[in-house]
Amino acid sequence: MKDITKKLEQHVHQCVEFLSKASVLDLETKVNPEKWSKKEILGHLIDSGINNLQRFTEIEFSSKPYKVVSYSQDDLVRVNDYQSADIMELVAFWKAINIRIKIIMEKQTSDTLAYPILLGNEEVKDLEFLMKDYVEHLEHHLHQIIKE
C-alpha cells in the first residue's frame, strides 16, 4: 500500500498546485455541452472520494463480502452544481477527502486488505483492489484536468 498512498499524495499535491494557478476560464470551459468541464471533473472526483471513503471505512464493520453500491455520477455532478462553485472551496474539499483516504489506506493490514468485495457486476475482489482502483480512477481524471 505504500506505493499507492505515495502516488495518492503526489497526485493531490500536483493537482492542487495546478488548480491554484489555472484560469477560471480554463476550468469552466466545456468542449462539448454533454461533457464535464475540468471543474466538474474535480466535482466528480469529490463525489468519488466521498463514496470511496465511505466504502473504505464501512467494510471494517460490514458483513462480508462487502457489496459495492454504485452512485449516479452525472446526477451528483449536476445536483451539486460544481460548475458554479468556488474553485478554491472545491480544491480544499477534494484535498481534505484525499488526505483522509490516505490515512485510512495507511491503517490497513494484510488481513483487512484481503476483505472480500462484491462489485456491481458480481465479481469478487478485495479491499486492496478497490483502493488501487480508486487511485487509478483518480489518475485518469487528473490527466483530463491537467493535460488537456
83-133 pLDDT, tens per residue?
A: 999 999 999 999 999 999 999 999 999 999 999 999 989 999 999 999 999
124 Cβ contact partners less than 8 Å away, ≥ 6 residues apart: 65, 116, 117, 118
Q: What is the mean pLDDT of the chain?
A: 96
Q: What whole-number distance in Å separates Cα of residue 132 and Cα of residue 119?
A: 14
Residue 51 pLDDT greater than 90, yes or no:
yes
Q: What whole-number distance in Å separates Cα of residue 73 and Cα of residue 7?
A: 24
pLDDT of 6 = 98
Confidence label for 135 from pLDDT (cuts 50, 70 and 90): very high
Q: What whole-number distance in Å separates Cα of residue 24 and Cα of residue 57?
A: 34
pTM of the model: 0.95
* Residue 24 to residues 19, 29, 31, 57, 87, Cα–Cα distance (Å): 9, 8, 15, 34, 8
The hierarchical CATH code for the domain 2-147 is 1.20.120.450
